[in-house]
Amino acid sequence: MGFRFDRFATLYMVNPIQRRTSSKSSIPILMYHSVSNRDEAGVHPYYRTATAPTVFELHMQYLHDHGYTAMNVGDAVDSLQNGRLTNKRAVITFDDGYSDFYKHAFSVLDRHGFTATVFLPTAYIGTVTKQFKGKDCLTWAEVRELRKCGITFGSHTVSHPQLRDLDANAVNMEVANSKKTIEDNLGEAVDCFSYPFAFPEGDTLFTRRLRDTLVTSGYNQGVSTRIGMAREREDRYFLRRLPMNSLDDALLFGAKLQGGYDWLHTIQYISKLLTKSR
């Protein structure tokens, strides 16, 4: 794997201090994408999105062995805002609606008694298998089967665009139509949204308009790609999450659950500002 500064800093510089000063007013929301053995050898560890099934099993076993229970995003928001928190709660989320959730992840979750939320880009979810980024996605029959087993579904837009690049009407279509499509196929309300791609948190005008669109469309909460633990007083529509992939060994995984990876949000934010200014 080679030397990783983010892992070194998290384990040996930040987390030892974080453990002594950590607040219980936070909940880890884990962000997975593909649970597969996809080769990401040429991808920087920070940007990898595949988690090998064996590593995912390790993560879920860690949660189980350390007394964590899994909750959905809505319950996490209520707990954060009402102060009903314990340090043994986690939210498990999956972006992109890949079929390997059905094939590899669900059985592991079910064995440990954990629930999860899967965010669907609805253009790639069909009556027959469709592909997104070259990978098979869930079908609506699989989505309905998983819902009966307790898995929650939310919107990940229709076509997975960078919403900031679209005009207001297109943003509204992506946000509202994806919600309606999932509701039509499940026969129940959908109230959670996941922002695709890097979240443009420095663009306050855009984020304010997007929040208004989410509220108008009937969402109650949402998650973003901002790094860190979800905390009280945080905007319930753009909650932070902790990115996961195959390189998250037990030590790094445990440190992330304790808030030891949150320091990277500052670097993430500065990087976005520098990119915007170019």
* Per-residue pLDDT reduced to its tens digit, 124-156: 999 999 999 999 999 999 999 999 999 999 999
Judge contact between 108 and 57, C-beta under 8 A: yes
With 0-12 / 13-18 / 19 or more C-beta atoms within 10 angstroms meaning exposed / middle / buried, residue 39 is exposed
What total number of domains does the chain contain?
1
- Does 185 reside within a domain? no
CATH of the domain at 85: 3.20.20.370
- Cα–Cα nearest to 95, from 230, 245, 253: 245
- Does 115 reside within a domain? yes
Beta partners for residue 117, in sequence order: 93, 152
Q: What is the mean pLDDT of the chain?
A: 93
- The yes-or-no verdict on residue 275 having pLDDT over 80 is no
Amino acid letter for position 51: T
Q: Please report how many Cα atoms fall inside a 13 Å half-sphere around the Cα of residue 178, on the Cβ side.
A: 32
> Could you tell me the pLDDT band of residue 270, with boundaries at 50, 70 and 90?
confident
- Does 169 reside within a domain? no
- Does 193 reside within a domain? no
- Does 180 reside within a domain? no
Q: Which residues, in sequence order, are CB contacts of 191 under 8 Å at separation 6+? A: 74, 154, 218, 219, 220, 221
> Could you tell me the pLDDT band of residue 20, with boundaries at 50, 70 and 90?
low
Q: Which residues, in sequence order, are CB contacts of 89 under 8 Å at separation 6+? A: 27, 68, 69, 70, 71, 76, 79
> Could you tell me the pLDDT band of residue 278, with boundaries at 50, 70 and 90?
very low
- Cα–Cα nearest to 187, from 222, 215, 147: 147
- Does 244 reside within a domain? yes
Average pLDDT (227-243) is 95
Parent domain of 23:
5-150+224-260
pTM tops 0.75: yes
- Does 214 reside within a domain? no
**What does the block give as tokens for 145?**
């089967």
- Does 54 reside within a domain? yes
